[in-house]
Amino acid sequence: MVGRLSVLKVCGYLLMVSTGCAASNAQPVPNAIRLNLECQDDSIIFGEPARFFVSVHNTSETTVHIYPGIIYNTRLLCSVDDNKYEDCIYGREWMDFGKTHEMLPGSALWNELGLYLNGTVRKDLERQDGYVNDLVFPRPGTYYVKAESDYAENLHSNAVRITVAPLPESEQPVMEIWSRPEVATFIQGYTYKEGVAPLERLLDQYPDSLYADHARYALGDYWAGQYFTKITSDPHILRKASVHFAAVTERVPILKMRALYQQLVIVDRKLFMSDEVDFEALARELEPRMSLADRIGLGEKIRERLPRVLARQKPTEAPGAIPR
């Protein structure tokens, strides 16, 4: 299934789940291991998801063996004064934590964490002052965020300061849609179908909104998921997903990177989509973004898929080209 996992310009969004307390099976780690947190833009607008890069580094001159869960089970803590930090939410990539990972001297592992709504999945969010009241950053102002490993003892990152700017006047009409509870839950990463129609209306009425790329990627992920989880076998649905991914702009580079990857996955898995995507153009777009792809865990996957796709001269899986 095409998955949603994934601030450069305005920090993106990611599949998110709630957290309560640190894992009980925390592992001791060598003193050489350091945790680092980054947000490549320290300012977002009110109501916009925020995305961070978290990385664990081997600062020693020897090879270190760690459990991957040290980085992949990292959670985010938030504060309004850089003093008292509380759990917000964290994103997780599921993987086999039973194996150890060999970290060479100076090497690093990366993960991507996102903040949007507090708490767990909710479809009953009340609105306050016209907006959802469960935002991690509930009003304009300054906030601080740091990371803590949920799988290692006493492994904390640096603190990152985030400025949440007031809502621009041009976005006021958009918030009538963007702040709907079903949209908030959908963007958080839980793709209940109730969020589809409002987001499609947002893109129809406000295609240049600052929230539009988040909506495009979320809808692309939803429709691809409908197809690849066999909820539907209608090829029109897969083309709809591809169209949404292709429409993601450069405004949020991390979303653009993920959207390009999702297009690559679609044509790699379903060759009848091959007439919808210019493989060579896709490769040209991906090439200068490989450094970013490596930082969000997609580099190795792209290097595996892209040559295989480029080598195909014609589709081998052919339920027919998708009608245009």
In this prediction, residue 171 has a pLDDT band, given cuts at 50, 70 and 90, of: very high
Same domain as 12, residue 123: yes
Same domain as 126, residue 240: no
Residue range 288-301: average pLDDT?
Answer: 88
Q: Would you say 157 and 148 are in contact if contact means Cβ atoms under 8 Å apart?
A: yes
Q: Would you say 138 and 157 are in contact if contact means Cβ atoms under 8 Å apart?
A: no
Same domain as 124, residue 8: yes
* 3-state SS class at 242: helix
Residue-wise pLDDT for 189-203, tens only, equals: 777 889 999 999 999
Nearest-angstrom CA–CA distance, 297 and 281: 22
Show the tokens assigned to 246.
């292709």
**What percentage of the chain carries pLDDT values higher than 90?**
36
Residue-wise pLDDT for 227-280, tens only, equals: 988 888 888 899 999 999 999 999 888 889 999 999 999 988 886 777 777 888
Nearest-angstrom CA–CA distance, 251 and 255: 9
Same domain as 157, residue 22: yes
Q: Would you say 12 and 214 are in contact if contact means Cβ atoms under 8 Å apart?
A: yes
Nearest-angstrom CA–CA distance, 5 and 224: 14
> Do the domain assignments include residue 234?
yes
Domain boundary among 145, 167, 189: 167
Same domain as 278, residue 158: no
Q: Would you say 174 and 206 are in contact if contact means Cβ atoms under 8 Å apart?
A: yes
Of 289, 282, 288, which is closest to residue 263 (Cα–Cα)? 282
Note the pLDDT of residue 6. 32
> Do the domain assignments include residue 65?
yes
In this prediction, residue 10 has a pLDDT band, given cuts at 50, 70 and 90, of: very low
Any idea which residue has 């979320």 for tokens?
Answer: 218
Nearest-angstrom CA–CA distance, 287 and 289: 5
Give 38's strand partners: 53
Residue-wise pLDDT for 45-101, tens only, equals: 998 888 888 889 999 999 998 887 888 788 889 999 888 888 876 544 444 455 788
Same domain as 133, residue 12: yes
Same domain as 215, residue 161: no
CB-based burial label for 94 (10 Å; 0-12, 13-18, 19+)? exposed
Note the pLDDT of residue 30. 78
Average pLDDT, the chain: 81
Residue 317 CB-half CA count within 13 A: 11
Note the pLDDT of residue 61. 92
Same domain as 236, residue 106: no
> Do the domain assignments include residue 198?
no
Same domain as 225, residue 100: no
Domain that holds residue 117: 1-167
Q: Would you say 252 and 13 are in contact if contact means Cβ atoms under 8 Å apart?
A: no
Torsion of CA 272, 276, 280, 284, to 10 degrees: -130
Any idea which residue has 């003093």 for tokens?
Answer: 83
More confident residue, 29 or 308: 308
> Do the domain assignments include residue 249?
yes
Provide the whole-model pTM.
Answer: 0.80
> Do the domain assignments include residue 200?
no
Domain boundary among 107, 133, 167: 167
CB-based burial label for 51 (10 Å; 0-12, 13-18, 19+)? buried
Nearest-angstrom CA–CA distance, 113 and 91: 5
